[in-house]
Amino acid sequence: MLDTSTLIVVILLYVISAGLLWFSLIMASSESAISRVTRSNLNNLMLDVRTNEDSEFVRKKTIARIRHAQQVIYQRQRATLTCTFGRVMANVLIGGLVAIATGAFDVALWAEVLIGVGVAVLSAGIAVLISPRSSNQRSVSVLLQYAPFISRAMHLMPARGLDRAQLRATMSDDEELEHIHHEQARATIDRLIEGQLFDEEISEMMRNVLTLTDTLTREIMVPRTDMFSLEKTTTLNDMLKDCSRSGFSRVPVTGESVDDLVGIAYLKDVVRATAFNPAAGERTLESIVREPMLVPESKPVDDLFHDMQTNRQHVALVVDEYGGIAGLVTIEDALEQIVGELEDEHDRVQRREPEQMEDGGWRVPARTSITDIEELFEVDLDEDDVDTAYGLLTKALGRVPIVGSHAQTRGLDLVAVDSAGRRKKVSTIEIRRAPDTMDTIEEKTTDAFSARSGERSEDENDDR
């Protein structure tokens, strides 16, 4: 029979062993999470936390945990070794403590050792089998929960004395890990294609899916120079006209400049407001704008596509590293990276040659060069900063042209008359000589004819 003090010690050893088993499970869960979470996951989470509606206290606390998690991921190899070392040490201590506690019951030495080893192996197996192998979102939650402890425990690792450059050289970074996974997936798809299990179009789409992670939002966005936007003082009636001419149904609304973003105006909101109340057409766009979805230009396209699906948004404004508007991206832009160019029944790709009109003007494709325009009208435009008819019209307007846009420059009258493509970019421009230019030419011609007639009369008089 054990005395009271011995019994208390035995119970205490068993309680410590249970705590070490719990610690082993935590280390196994963290080890699994570290191998799954990537830097892009944490960067996107940081952006979400900074723009959510939580209190300032909760936001700062979450950001601090994300910082710890980023530090852990930055030293992924060292963090993994820390978790593995902690888990193994916990399992060894569990076996030793259970063996010591069992020895208090006058058990043979060989049985005491056998029980200790068996409990250590059992606890190691439990830690491996019960550790989560769940979704990436669950792994992020686990890492955020235990990252502060792991980042501090990393300083106690035996690798602490290693040279930092050597440690980084052996570090398995997330980009390298993802690259290996992509190469393996590409090899698998190539084997399936060689087996002729899929046709050429499906095979190309499967390859495109693997490139989404490597493609950034800034590579597929509409740059701000080509982005069509309206000022917040624009009336609803004017937006109806502009949307009819441009073909867009979602338009960014700005204030004093493009960077002064007010929101996104939806054509269906304008129709809803004015359909049964014509007087509402005099209201400004500022009264109906919606909160815009903002995304960083460095966001991978696969994450962008997932976020737009989750938030049920078809358009987002792209923000550069300085907080300015870099461009606009739609869910169709992301989808086109998989299935290719999307066109509807209204889209027409125009490759016509310049056509002369009855009034003497020319109907030319928007990409017609300045040199060709100079030859058509026998003028010298002297434009060094633009190369096409579209660029000439854009420069004269000072903004992105849409169908119906009209401007005069260098004695020419330019009108955008047609658009093509899903982005409704102007495709055809009609160019004529400006009316004042024609009058000037006629006046100069008349004056020159009169001068020649006068000179001829004087010569005749002198001959006489």
Give the CA distances from residue 100 to residues 12, 23, 117, 137, in Å, rounded to whole numbers and listed in that order. 11, 20, 12, 41
Which structure tokens are listed for 349? Answer: 């790709």
CATH of the domain at 392: 3.30.465.10
More confident residue, 103 or 377: 377
Predicted pLDDT of residue 170: 40
Q: Across-strand partners of 235?
A: 284
Asked if 239 and 180 sit in the same domain, the reply is no
Asked if 111 and 225 sit in the same domain, the reply is no
Contact, 316 vs 304, CB < 8 A?
Answer: yes
Domain range holding 26? 4-172
Q: Is the pLDDT of residue 181 over 70?
A: no
Give the integer Cα–Cα distance in Å for 283 and 238: 10
Give the integer Cα–Cα distance in Å for 39 and 214: 14
Mean of the pLDDT values across residues 313-342? 83
Q: Is the pLDDT of residue 440 over 70?
A: no
Residue 454, domain member (yes or no):
no
Residue 443, domain member (yes or no):
no
Reported as a single tens digit per residue, the pLDDT across 346-361 is: 454 444 678 888 888 8
Nearest CA-CA partner of 363 in 371, 351, 355: 355
Asked if 157 and 187 sit in the same domain, the reply is no
Q: Is the pLDDT of residue 322 over 80?
A: no
Predicted pLDDT of residue 173: 46
Predicted pLDDT of residue 182: 63
Reported as a single tens digit per residue, the pLDDT across 24-55 is: 888 888 888 887 777 767 777 776 776 677 77
| Minimum mean pLDDT range among 62-71, 199-208, 323-332, 436-445 | 436-445
Mean of the pLDDT values across residues 369-375? 84
To the nearest 10°, the Cα dihedral for 44, 50, 56, 58? -10
Q: Is the pLDDT of residue 259 over 60?
A: yes
Give the integer Cα–Cα distance in Å for 365 and 419: 10
| Minimum mean pLDDT range among 146-155, 204-213, 384-393 | 204-213
Residue 384, domain member (yes or no):
yes
Asked if 15 and 99 sit in the same domain, the reply is yes
Predicted pLDDT of residue 166: 43
Give the integer Cα–Cα distance in Å for 366 and 34: 52
Asked if 130 and 9 sit in the same domain, the reply is yes
265 falls in which pLDDT band (50, 70, 90)? very high
Asked if 11 and 155 sit in the same domain, the reply is yes
Residue 31, domain member (yes or no):
yes
Residue 191, domain member (yes or no):
yes
Predicted pLDDT of residue 131: 57
Predicted pLDDT of residue 460: 47
Asked if 25 and 105 sit in the same domain, the reply is yes
Residue 359, domain member (yes or no):
yes
How many domains does the chain divide into? 4
Asked if 330 and 359 sit in the same domain, the reply is no
143 falls in which pLDDT band (50, 70, 90)? confident
Give the integer Cα–Cα distance in Å for 369 and 390: 9
Predicted pLDDT of residue 349: 45
CA 108 vs. chain centroid, Å, equals: 66
Asked if 142 and 15 sit in the same domain, the reply is yes
Contact, 81 vs 153, CB < 8 A?
Answer: no
CATH of the domain at 232: 3.10.580.10
For a pLDDT cut of 90, what percent of the chain falls above it? 3
Predicted pLDDT of residue 229: 87
For a pLDDT cut of 70, what percent of the chain falls above it? 78
Q: Is the pLDDT of residue 171 over 50?
A: no
Residue 301, domain member (yes or no):
yes
Asked if 140 and 276 sit in the same domain, the reply is no
Secondary structure (H, E, C), the chain: CCCHHHHHHHHHHHHHHHHHHHHHHHHHHHHHHHCCCCHHHHHHHHHHHHHCCCCHHHHHHHHHHHHHHHHHHHCHHHHHHHHHHHHHHHHHHHHHHHHHHHHCCCCCHHHHHHHHHHHHHHHHHHHHHHCCCCCHHHHHHHHHHHHHHHHHHHHHCHHHHCCHHHHHHCCCCHHHHHHHHHHHHHHHHHHHHHCCCCCHHHHHHHHHHHHCCCCEHHHCCEEHHHCCCEECCCEHHHHHHHHHHHCCCEEEEECCCCCCEEEEEEHHHHHHHHCCCHHHHHCEHHHCCECCCEEECCCEHHHHHHHHHHCCCCEEEEECCCCCEEEEEEHHHHHHHHHCCCCCCCCCCCCCCCEECCCCCEEEECCCEHHHHHHHHCCCCCCCCCCEHHHHHHHHHCCCCCCCCEEEECCEEEEEEEEECCCCEEEEEEEEECHHHHHHHHHHHHHHHHHHHHHHHHHHHHHC
To the nearest 10°, the Cα dihedral for 403, 407, 408, 414? -10
Reported as a single tens digit per residue, the pLDDT across 189-246 is: 777 767 666 677 777 777 777 777 778 888 888 888 778 888 888 999 999 988 887 7
Asked if 335 and 420 sit in the same domain, the reply is no
Asked if 52 and 73 sit in the same domain, the reply is yes
Mean of per-residue pLDDT scores for the chain: 77
Predicted pLDDT of residue 90: 86
Predicted pLDDT of residue 266: 92
442 falls in which pLDDT band (50, 70, 90)? very low
Residue 374, domain member (yes or no):
yes
CA 57 vs. chain centroid, Å, equals: 29
Q: Is the pLDDT of residue 464 over 60?
A: no
Predicted pLDDT of residue 444: 43
